Amino acid sequence: MHSHHTISSESLDIVTIYNIFHNNKKLSLSAELEQKVVECKNYLDSKLAENESPMYGINTGFGSLYNVKISGADLTKLQENLVMSHACGTGDRVPESIVKVMLLLKIQSLSFGRSGVQLQTIQRLIDFFNNDIFPHVFTQGSLGASGDLAPLAHLALPLLGKGKVVHENKTYDAQEILAKFGWEPIKLEAKEGLALLNGTQFMSAYGVYLLLMSHKTSYLADIIASLSLDAFDGRLDPFHDLVHEVRPHPGQWKVARRVNTILEGSELSKQYKEHVQDPYSFRCIPQVHGATKDTLDFVEKVVLTEINSVTDNPNIFYEEDLIISGGNFHGQPLALALDYLKIAMAEIGNISERRTFQLVSGLRGLPPFLVDNPGLNSGFMIPQYTAASIVSANKQLATPASIDSIVSSNGQEDHVSMGANAATQAYNLIRNVERVIAIELMNASQAIEFRRPLKTSPFLEEFLVRYRAQVPYIKEDEVLHDDIQASIAFLKDLDIEIEELFLNTYGLDCY
């Protein structure tokens, strides 16, 4: 496996990013992009030397202070002040895995040669990435409009020898880490602070990470729903090709075919059914899970466009001899997409909890609460409460962040996207969905035991063997918290290798 990735003019995609992280690849800049960065910087330097007129953010103040002209002697101080004054994040620390994506996306955006930064500034960001040095970045503080100013200021601080970083699970002052690696602090030049702080890399890093989480969670939800369908003695008629030919949404097609493939060879699905219909939470799995998959495709298109774009300001078009102040840092496309992602993933949890409810309701020959001696034993009564509580919390988290806007910067920044709030809400929401489908897996695996000696499909029987190695069948009441936690851990630990094993054995695609 190649352990190196060259940032080039080719677009980044989700699979490439996944491979960079999964294989812990090191980054470098292509010669072509190095040249573009140097040419852009040389052009900016020559404009400053020959031009006394104000250029926003280059030799002026920022935000509503755009009219204040700064002398040439103070340009470095201006940029350093910008980074320090904007490092106003608070709340929880951003997970290091997401900070690493932020570094990658910042490197990518600055490397297009439209931002006027020094080559060594990008190189230092690459050094941080390659050596797993992660600045302390905080979840709260970005309006998602002038870019993610506060989080990106925290990302940039250690370049100047300020702020804190994590390296090999230990926290260092930035000065310490620079000394450890023998690096000098970067001396920011004109526009560089603004280039580092403007941009949507907090939101878009979350977007990339959330897509990877969502693809996996959505895939696992299909497997667990298929197990629930067999455990509930459900019918396969609603998954017939003809049903989906007459309403051919791509996600719906994909889910119906996947469920058929997962349940291939199941004795349970073949047995005679007394009932002619199943509740919607079983019958409409293709329509509900499928609509979420179509949403993921839309969100992925938005995120991929964003991460392969220049999102700082002003933009430098040196070939055309133009420096243009625009609004590419505004996070509205991401804010709307992340809100849509929240709604779509909340529904995976919503329908999962309904299947759990049906499984514990004493229907279809299953004992109430899936336990041998109900009454003396409460069995699986309360995990459904837990799932219901989480699903309800997700309804609040799924409320759109993007419909809000609060004026900032003394009225200069009078409409903001709030996409950063959407990003952190989506992270919490999808973590919640992981918990809800883990509870469904607990219930479905328990219910399937009451169908013995009949078996489900070979695919699901193998899945259950893996699961039972960590989570036992429940004979009588015990502390179910431990089993819920073990179920969540089981799903989290199903990494891509195991998904590939399933793919190779059963011909399933994991997305």
373-to-231, 360, 367, 379 alpha-carbon distances in Å: 19, 13, 9, 8
Amino acid letter, 434:
E
Dihedral of the CA atoms 297, 300, 302, 307 (nearest 10)? -160
For residues 155 and 125, give the distance between their C-alpha atoms in angstroms, rounded to a whole number. Answer: 9
Q: Token pair of 247, please? A: 């309403």
8 Å CB contact between 366 and 234: no
Amino acid letter, 1:
M
Active site residues: 56
351-to-101, 282, 340, 346, 476 alpha-carbon distances in Å: 31, 9, 17, 9, 27
Give the strand pairing for 90-93 and 4-7: unpaired
For residues 230 and 353, give the distance between their C-alpha atoms in angstroms, rounded to a whole number. Answer: 16
8 Å CB contact between 157 and 174: yes
**Phi, psi of 29, rounded to the nearest 5 degrees:** -95, 140
The β-bridge partners of 377 are 374
DSSP, residue by residue, 252-270: HHHHHHHHHHHTTT-HHHH
Q: Token pair of 195, please? A: 């280039």
For residues 249 and 230, give the distance between their C-alpha atoms in angstroms, rounded to a whole number. Answer: 25
Q: Is 10 exposed, middle or buried (0-12, 13-18, 19+ CB in 10 A)?
A: exposed
The β-bridge partners of 166 are 134, 171
The rounded Cα 509 to chain-centroid distance in angstroms is 20
Query: 486-491 long-range contacts, Cβ below 8 Å, gap at least 24?
Result: 487/438, 487/439, 487/441, 487/442, 488/434, 488/435, 488/438, 490/438, 490/441, 490/466, 491/220, 491/434, 491/437, 491/438, 491/441
CA geometry: angle 30, 321, 58, nearest 5 deg: 80
